[in-house]
Amino acid sequence: MGELLSGVEESSKKAGRPIRVGMLGFGVVGSGAYRMLTDNRSAILRKVGTPIEIVKVGVRDQEKPRAVSQDLVTTDLNSIVDDPSIDVILELMGGLDLAGELVERALKNGKHVVTANKELIAKRGAKLVSLAATQGLDLHFEAAVGGGIPLIQPLKHQLAGNEVLKMMGILNGTTNYILTKMTQNHLGFEEALGEAQALGYAEADPSSDVDGFDVQFKLAILSSIAFGHEVLPEAIYRQGIREVAAQDIAYADMLGYVIKLLGIVDALEDGGIVARVHPALIPKAHPLASVSGVYNALWVRGDFVGDLMFSGRGAGSDATGSAVVGDLIDVCRNILLGGAGNTSTYDLPVKTRSIDEVTNAFYVRLIVLDKPMVLSKLATVFGQRGVSLSAMEMRVLDAEKQHGEIVFLVHPCLERDFQQAIEELRSAEFVLKVASWMRVQA
């Protein structure tokens, strides 16, 4: 160990002045980034060519125990972004308003910024990226999407010559864990959620994850990069997984599918996009179907490269910290070269189309009266909207009350036509309950 340290010190003497870094936040992501910078300092020094030095760590509670010297810790966050000796700010505190103000102030003060803040980049990324470009600075945010999976850099660089035709991803580890447990262990949603919370995969208030907000933010960022236009979260249709039942998981399996919470964006011929977040049935043969537990993945189709898939740990201290450090190394190299590598400027907001105009196949589960002519009446309701039924399963729930359950797939049709048929079924005398419906993604 002593030889390694002396080797690092000797290399540091040969290198230029250290690049000084200030951290805002020292939670899960911040501690992971700091640990990597400390444990892998010799390798990082070789790759950068000069030492990286954490000189200040901004926190809300200075008394909380942390694996960092208390001499570096301060609650005066403004003092970090205003310090003229600091070259790079790592914004790892999360949130929107305070984090946004600090990042903007740092850029105006001539500091490069690395952030893992998906909400900030999704909602204010265009403004901040433009400010960074104007200032000749780097603003990097690989860690905001996909944890340790490299997604932003490939879209910005290696795939930049392609027209992206479609992206589809599992972008939230919490919901993927819940759906995996429901599938493998035959749990209900609440039971699987409780297990995720007990293991620390889900927050006490899981709304951001299970209601799809987290994926909505991430898809906004990916879409903005892929299409070169600002895509705001509110332009993306969102539906969470609270209504997915154990019965739906079982029927999907029987029909040859698995259920995943997907972020999907399709390019349109007129230059616009359709972007959406919702649970969907996908065929077991699709590459995304086997992505389980807390893992994330993004499947991309480019006009020249064809189909690609990126997969790995989408969250956690080490994985996300790894992405932060990777961005920091890029920024430090650019500093030594005397420039910035910030290429992800956005154009005006992209034209988006409503999900009502999307063509999808669908899965439906109904509780109905188990009487003659029910199937023909059901087919008539859909047929009047130009919607045709595909595979079907039926079972008796209560023979005495003549209650039955029908599960079927609908051939691809316009979302608008399908929803009109569903609304009519809700008031039909032979339908006791529209128990569930979901989109089927081929």
Full DSSP string of 344-397: ---BSPPPB--GGG-EEEEEEEEEEE--TTHHHHHHHHHHTTT--EEEEEEEEE
What count of residues does the chain have?
Answer: 442
User: Which residue among 56, 123, 181, 218 is the active-site one?
Assistant: 218
Q: Are strands 295-302 and 306-313 parallel, antiparallel or unpaired?
A: antiparallel
- Please return the burial class of 143, using the count of CB atoms within 10 Å of its CB with bins 0-12, 13-18 and 19+: buried
Outline where DSSP puts E strands in 119-183.
139-140, 164-170
Angle at 92 between CA 88 and CA 96, to 5 degrees: 110
DSSP code at position 305? T
Angle at 291 between CA 286 and CA 296, to 5 degrees: 120
Instruction: Tell me if 146 sits within 8 A of 119, measured CB to CB.
Output: no
| Alpha carbon distance 256, 206 (integer Å) | 29
| Alpha carbon distance 121, 104 (integer Å) | 12
Instruction: Tell me if 143 sits within 8 A of 29, measured CB to CB.
Output: yes
Partners of 54 in the β-ladder: 21
The amino acid at residue 342 is: N
Residue 80: name the closest of 142, 18, 20 by CA: 20
| Alpha carbon distance 355, 417 (integer Å) | 12
Half-sphere exposure at residue 140, Cβ-oriented, CA atoms within 13 angstroms: 25
Q: Which two tokens stand for residue 276?
A: 């959406």
- Residue located via tokens 């005397």: 338
The backbone torsions φ and ψ at residue 154, rounded to the nearest 5 degrees and listed phi first, read: -60, -40
Q: What is the Rg, in whole angstroms, of the alpha carbon atoms belonging to the chain?
A: 25
13 is catalytic: no
Instruction: Tell me if 201 sits within 8 A of 174, measured CB to CB.
Output: yes
Active site residue ranges: 218
